[in-house]
């Protein structure tokens, strides 16, 4: 194979993992919640085998799926974006990233305030839209930064763009990233700029500052071998740039699907790694099953056109990084299996059942591209190549 398009539908889980109850996620099933809206219409994913996947109890199974299909359980003890993507790329996180259900300790906040010269508001787990509605006015009046977290391992900083210019907000995030080490080493520091009048609107200039993966991933191995590694959307940020050769860091499903289509028309060899964040950010966290289903419908329509333009040595792998069931309690990620759908002229339609490490995807991609490297996970390339 010459080119692999790895597309992550951020948070599109297909049912609880055996240990979901340990994470407070018993019964979670993102696909089921979207299907039960009665509005889900994804014929292209269905013909690849989406509803034939192990454990999927909704939808009509396809008599003769056109793709290889399976579900995978996460080996890392987490359910966040960074953990999921790192494991897909062959780096299992043996320890979960720290979370702060009661906010960050005084020593962290005091150090951050000294370094930025600004006071901190909130410092609690919060919804991103509610936190700016509740603290935005005080922030605008005082210039203090809104710092908040969630059930995930994140340190989020919200600021109005008229009060804190975006580049300054990014610099505050870099300061936080340097402070948050050791026991406080959260997976991501996230800039959350907003604008307008109360209750305010978040802007698309969000930016994530992740930890650097502790060891080489599929991306490093491919780039060292001379392959192109293209990161679209949040990919560069999730891997702190490590192993990424080319990138486009704009985010949003429609934008990133268009960018992926543009790369499909170009000549290159290697991996195009795309993250579609809106499933998670706009619909999963906001517990909006109708919006989530509509976004899946939009993606599926785009997918049909994308598949029709594939070259003979192209492979497309669709997957997710965790769940975010829009009908589950709370507003956070859910511990779910991820789906994997694989298609291309050189790919056999086959049911691969259930596997136990997201890193199997990364190992498979290395073998498909004929590149040797050591990652967490076992390749299933031999089972899918014609």
CATH architecture of the domain with residue range 3-95+211-384: 3-Layer(aba) Sandwich (3.40)
User: What distance in Å separates the CA atoms of residue 236 and residue 253, rounded to the nearest whole number?
Assistant: 16
Residue 178 has a CB neighbour count (10 Å cut-off) of 12
Residues in a beta bridge with 155:
189
State the burial class of residue 268 (Cβ atoms within 10 Å of its Cβ: 0-12, 13-18, 19+): middle
| CA dist., res. 148 & res. 120, Å (int) | 10
d(CA 35, CA 108): 43
Instruction: Round to whole Å and give the CA distance between 38 and 221.
Output: 43
Residue among 72, 97, 77, 71 nearest 238 (CA) = 97
- List, in sequence order, the alpha helices (H) in 103-245: 106-116, 128-142, 166-179, 218-224, 235-238
Domain with CATH 3.40.720.10 in the chain: 3-95+211-384
- Give the DSSP per-residue string, 329-348: SSSS-B-B-EEEEEE-TTB-
Compute CA distances 231 → 11, 240, 278, 351, whole Å.
Answer: 18, 11, 17, 29
Q: Please, what CATH class does the domain formed by 106-210 belong to? A: alpha beta
The Cα–Cα gap between 366 and 99 comes to 33
- pLDDT, one tens digit for every residue, the chain (386 residues): 999 999 999 999 999 999 999 999 999 999 999 999 999 999 999 999 999 999 999 999 999 999 999 999 999 999 999 999 999 999 999 888 999 999 999 999 999 999 999 999 999 999 899 999 999 999 999 999 999 998 889 999 999 999 999 999 999 999 999 999 999 999 999 999 999 999 999 998 999 998 999 999 999 999 999 999 999 999 999 999 999 999 999 999 999 999 999 999 999 999 999 999 999 999 999 999 999 999 999 999 999 999 999 999 999 999 999 999 999 988 889 999 999 999 999 999 999 999 999 999 999 999 999 999 999 999 999 999 99
Helix, strand, coil share of the chain (percent; to 5): 35, 20, 45
Give CA–CA dist 92/78, Å, rounded.
Answer: 10
In eight-state DSSP terms, residue 328 is S
- Please answer whether residues 340 and 328 qualify as being in contact, where contact means their C-beta atoms are separated by less than 8 angstroms: no
What distance lies between CA 218 and its chain's CA centroid? 16
Entry pTM: 0.92
End-to-end alpha carbon distance in the chain: 11
Where do the CATH 3.30.70.1250 domains begin and end in the chain?
A: 106-210
């Amino acid at each position: 194979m010459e080119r692999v398009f790895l597309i992550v539908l951020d948070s599109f889980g297909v049912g609880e993992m055996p240990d979901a109850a340990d994470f407070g996620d018993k019964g979670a099933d993102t696909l089921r919640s979207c299907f039960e809206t009665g509005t889900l219409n994804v014929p292209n994913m269905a013909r690849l085998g989406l509803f034939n996947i192990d454990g999927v109890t909704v939808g009509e199974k396809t008599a003769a799926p056109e793709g290889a299909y399976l579900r995978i359980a996460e080996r890392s003890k987490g359910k966040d974006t960074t953990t999921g993507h790192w494991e897909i790329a062959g780096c299992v996180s043996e320890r979960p990233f720290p979370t702060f259900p009661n906010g960050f300790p005084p020593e962290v906040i005091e150090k951050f305030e000294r370094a930025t010269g600004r006071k901190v508001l909130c410092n609690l787990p919060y919804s991103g839209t509610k936190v700016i509605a509740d603290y935005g006015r005080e922030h605008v009046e005082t210039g203090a930064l809104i710092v908040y977290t969630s059930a995930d391992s994140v340190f989020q900083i919200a600021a109005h763009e008229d009060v804190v210019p975006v580049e300054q907000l990014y610099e505050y995030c870099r300061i936080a990233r340097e402070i948050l080490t050791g026991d406080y080493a959260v997976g991501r520091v996230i800039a959350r700029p907003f604008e307008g009048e109360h209750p305010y609107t978040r802007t698309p200039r969000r930016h994530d500052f992740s930890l650097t993966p502790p060891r080489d991933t599929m991306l490093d191995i491919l780039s060292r071998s001379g392959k192109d590694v293209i990161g679209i959307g949040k990919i560069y940020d999730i891997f702190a740039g490590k192993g990424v050769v080319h990138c486009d860091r704009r985010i949003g499903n429609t934008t990133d699907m268009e960018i992926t289509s543009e790369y499909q028309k170009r000549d290159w060899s290697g991996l195009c790694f795309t993250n579609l964040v809106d499933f998670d950010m706009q619909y999963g966290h906001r517990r909006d099953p109708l919006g989530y289903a509509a976004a899946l419908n939009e993606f599926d329509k785009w997918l049909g056109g994308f598949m029709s333009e594939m070259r003979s040595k192209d492979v497309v792998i669709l997957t997710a990084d965790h769940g975010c069931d829009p009908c589950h309690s709370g507003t956070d990620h859910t511990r779910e299996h991820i789906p994997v759908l694989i298609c291309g002229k050189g790919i056999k339609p086959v049911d691969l059942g259930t596997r136990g490490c997201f890193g199997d995807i990364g190992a498979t991609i290395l073998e498909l591209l004929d590149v040797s490297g050591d990652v967490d996970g076992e390749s299933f390339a031999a089972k899918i190549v014609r």
